[in-house]
Amino acid sequence: MGIALIWCLALILIKWITSKRRGAISYDSSDQTALYIRMLANSEIEVSVSARNVRRLLSFQRYLRSSRFFRGITVPNSSNILDDDYNGQAKCMLEKVGNWNFDIFLFDRLTNGNSLVSLTFHLFNLHGLIEHFQLDTMKLRRFLVMVQEDYHSQNPYHNAVHAADVTQAMHCYLKEPKLSKSLTPWDVLLSLIAAATHDLDHPGVNQPFLIKTNHYLATLYKNTSVLENHHWRSAVGLLRESGLFAHMSLENRQLMESQIGDLILATDISQQNEYLSMFRSHLDRGDLCLENANHRHFILQMALKCADICNPCRTWELSKQWSEKVTEEFFHQGDIEKKYHLGVSPLCDRQTETIANIQIGFMTYLVEPLFGEWARFSNTRLSQTMLGHLGLNKASWKGVQREQSGSGDDVDPAFEEMDSDILPQEPRLS
């Protein structure tokens, strides 16, 4: 009875502490549509460190209690972690983690909502990073648990499952011949961490929303790559808190933090044209040399950009689910904007937009140009598979569009009205 009471109190404390999260948009539990934007007050700063540490400790203890791996069993080598900690079905799925048709939704169910922790830990082990960098497996597990917890599960799209999906896609790209024979363990390490943390603490609303509501993050980052800067800084905070790389030199830790930031900042969709133009120019000149560390880093930026928006390149069954989830998140933002008379953002009005229109515009202006150039760089079976799915999925959405409007030629006007500086040109395959 006493233990049960202690755990009840602990759970109440966790709920109270997590409700005090800084830097996010939150919703009052008594009214799920009520918006309040919390500014960073001086009085909060003094409490935040100790409160956050308590939450971390309790969260990790809760994970320890629920995981078979940590029930008093000492495992001498990291490869056995997978044998003890995964049920049979999830383990079988991880044997196919490099397949492009990997079903992250099924894997998340099999791991009881721990897809990001399970998949990323497995990839660290698979790529030999634990041994190469002499990582403490307990610290690694703790870091990944903290990362997973700092994604907002109430977000339909920008949540830990999306991060796991992007990490799995990044793994597929790292296996491509041009990359696999050139990348160093350092490159792989940065890529997996950046993929897992690229949307960390995403509030479920976009940058224009944060700017027009005068959110403190918009002020902090001067209205530039607001979310991406926040994801990066949040990742750095967890890396430092976990002590995962405390055994490295300060110089290497600082380099790691900086390069992870470069990768995450590249996912800012408003910078799409800039990166795509550089990529296209390199391919036109044929001057990419993956023995050059700077060129490798640039290719990893492009790979993460591809992984971040690869949903339309998955099978229809997976792509359709992602399309529905991201549209639900858009429409939820639009509902809030209507309620508070903020002006509805493009793509966010459920009265005038449809999933089909949004997806066709997204594929036409953003996905096709990027993956067309990626196929020029890495003309492999995977690239052709992705382009094949992309074409079929676009045709499927056009079929839906025809059923809804009687015409298949419409492109969402919201994409046409976007600043031309962020709209890339059509892809050129050669």
Q: Which active-site residues does the annotation give?
A: 158
Both tokens of 238, joined, read 């967890």
On whether both 360 and 384 belong to a single domain, the answer is yes
On whether both 281 and 317 belong to a single domain, the answer is no
Does the residue 207 lie in any domain? Answer: no
Give percent of the chain with pLDDT exceeding 70: 74
Rounded (10°) CA dihedral 55, 61, 66, 72: 170
Q: How many domains does the chain have?
A: 3
On whether both 62 and 140 belong to a single domain, the answer is no
Both tokens of 193, joined, read 């961490």
On whether both 172 and 151 belong to a single domain, the answer is yes
Does the residue 119 lie in any domain? Answer: yes
Does the residue 212 lie in any domain? Answer: no
Other C-beta atoms lying within 10 Å of the C-beta of residue 399? 12
- In contact, 264 and 166? CB cutoff 8 Å: no
Task: Decide if pLDDT at 5 tops 90.
Answer: no
The residue segments making up the domain with residue 12 are 1-20+45-66
pLDDT in tens, 114-141: 999 999 999 999 999 999 999 999 999 9
Query: Span 318-347, mean pLDDT?
Result: 98
Query: Span 16-28, mean pLDDT?
Result: 44
- Distance from chain centroid for Cα 305: 10
CA distance 174 to 385: 16
Distances (CA, A) of 241 to 55, 58, 134: 13, 15, 18
Paired with 37 in beta bridges are 25
Res. 37 pLDDT band, cuts 50 70 90: very low
Does the residue 35 lie in any domain? Answer: no
Please indicate if the annotation marks 236 as binding a ligand: no
Res. 283 pLDDT band, cuts 50 70 90: very high
Please indicate if the annotation marks 161 as binding a ligand: yes
Does the residue 352 lie in any domain? Answer: yes
Res. 405 pLDDT band, cuts 50 70 90: confident
On whether both 364 and 346 belong to a single domain, the answer is yes
pLDDT at 6: 59
On whether both 295 and 331 belong to a single domain, the answer is no
* 55-58 contacts at long range (C-beta below 8 A, 24 or more positions apart): 55/14, 55/17, 55/18, 56/146, 56/241, 58/10, 58/13, 58/14
On whether both 99 and 176 belong to a single domain, the answer is yes
Task: Decide if pLDDT at 408 tops 60.
Answer: no
Does the residue 281 lie in any domain? Answer: yes
- The mean of the pLDDT values for the chain is 84
On whether both 129 and 236 belong to a single domain, the answer is yes
Does the residue 428 lie in any domain? Answer: yes
On whether both 292 and 381 belong to a single domain, the answer is no
Please indicate if the annotation marks 198 as binding a ligand: yes
Give me the sign of the Cα torsion angle 368, 369, 374, 377: positive
Please indicate if the annotation marks 159 as binding a ligand: yes
CA distance 273 to 287: 20
Among 125-134, 196-205, 222-231, 419-428, name the one with the lowest average pLDDT: 419-428
pLDDT in tens, 249-271: 999 999 999 999 999 999 999 99
pLDDT at 424: 36
pLDDT at 415: 60
On whether both 56 and 121 belong to a single domain, the answer is no
Please indicate if the annotation marks 231 as binding a ligand: no
Please indicate if the annotation marks 160 as binding a ligand: yes
CATH at residue 321: 1.10.1300.10
On whether both 286 and 399 belong to a single domain, the answer is no
